[in-house]
Homo-oligomer: A and B are copies of this chain.
Amino acid sequence: MTQTQNTQTTNIRRNVPVDEQLEILRRGVVDLVSEDDLRRKLERGAPLRVKLGADPTRPDLHLGHAVILRKMRQFQDLGHKVIMLIGDFTAMIGDPSGKSKTRPPLTLEQTRENAKSYLEQCRLILRQEPEVLEIRYNGEWLEPMGYADVIRLASRYTVARIMERDDFRKRFEGGVPIAMHELLYPLTQGYDSVALEADVELGGTDQLFNNLVGRALQRDYGQEPQVVITLPLLVGLDGTEKMSKSLDNYIGLTDEPHAMFAGLMKVPDPLLDNYFTLLTDLPRERIEALLAGHPVAAHRELAREVVASLHPGADLDAAQERFRSVARGGIPENIPTVSVPAAELDNSVDTQRISMAKLVVLAGLEPSNGAARKLIQNRGLRVGGETYSDPQGSVPRSDLTREGGVVLQKGKDKFVRVVLGD
Q: Could you tell me which A residues sit within 8 Å of B by CB distance? A: 89, 92-93, 95-97, 142-143, 145-160, 162-163, 168, 172, 175, 177-184, 187-188
Tell me the complex Cα distance, A148–B92, Å: 9
Please state if A151 and B96 are interface contacts (CB–CB under 8 Å): yes
Tell me the complex Cα distance, A38–B184, Å: 36
Please state if A184 and B154 are interface contacts (CB–CB under 8 Å): yes
Beyond contacts A96-B151, A158-B177: 6 other A-B pairs, Cβ-Cβ < 8 A, are A95-B155, A143-B147, A157-B180, A160-B175, A160-B178, A180-B183
Tell me the complex Cα distance, A177–B97, Å: 27
Q: Name A97's contact: one of B148, B149, B156, B188 (CB within 8 Å).
A: B156
Q: Which residues of B contact A159 (CB under 8 A)?
A: 163, 168, 172, 177-180, 182-183
Q: Which residues of B contact A96 (CB under 8 A)?
A: 151-152, 155
Tell me the complex Cα distance, A177–B188, Å: 20
Looking at the assembled complex, report how far the CB atom of A393 sits from the nearest CB atom of chain B, in whole angstroms.
54
25 contacts between A and B (CB under 8 A): A92-B148, A93-B148, A96-B152, A142-B147, A145-B147, A147-B150, A150-B150, A150-B184, A151-B181, A152-B181, A153-B181, A155-B179, A155-B180, A156-B179, A157-B180, A158-B177, A158-B179, A158-B180, A159-B163, A159-B180, A159-B182, A159-B183, A160-B172, A163-B172, A183-B183
Tell me the complex Cα distance, A184–B143, Å: 19
Please state if A162 and B145 are interface contacts (CB–CB under 8 Å): no
Looking at the assembled complex, report how far the CB atom of A86 sits from the nearest CB atom of chain B, in whole angstroms.
16
Q: Which residues of B contact A175 (CB under 8 A)?
A: 160
Q: Which residues of B contact A179 (CB under 8 A)?
A: 154-159
Please state if A151 and B183 are interface contacts (CB–CB under 8 Å): no
Q: Which residues of B contact A156 (CB under 8 A)?
A: 97, 179-180
Q: Which residues of B contact A183 (CB under 8 A)?
A: 154, 159, 180, 183
Tell me the complex Cα distance, A153–B93, Å: 12
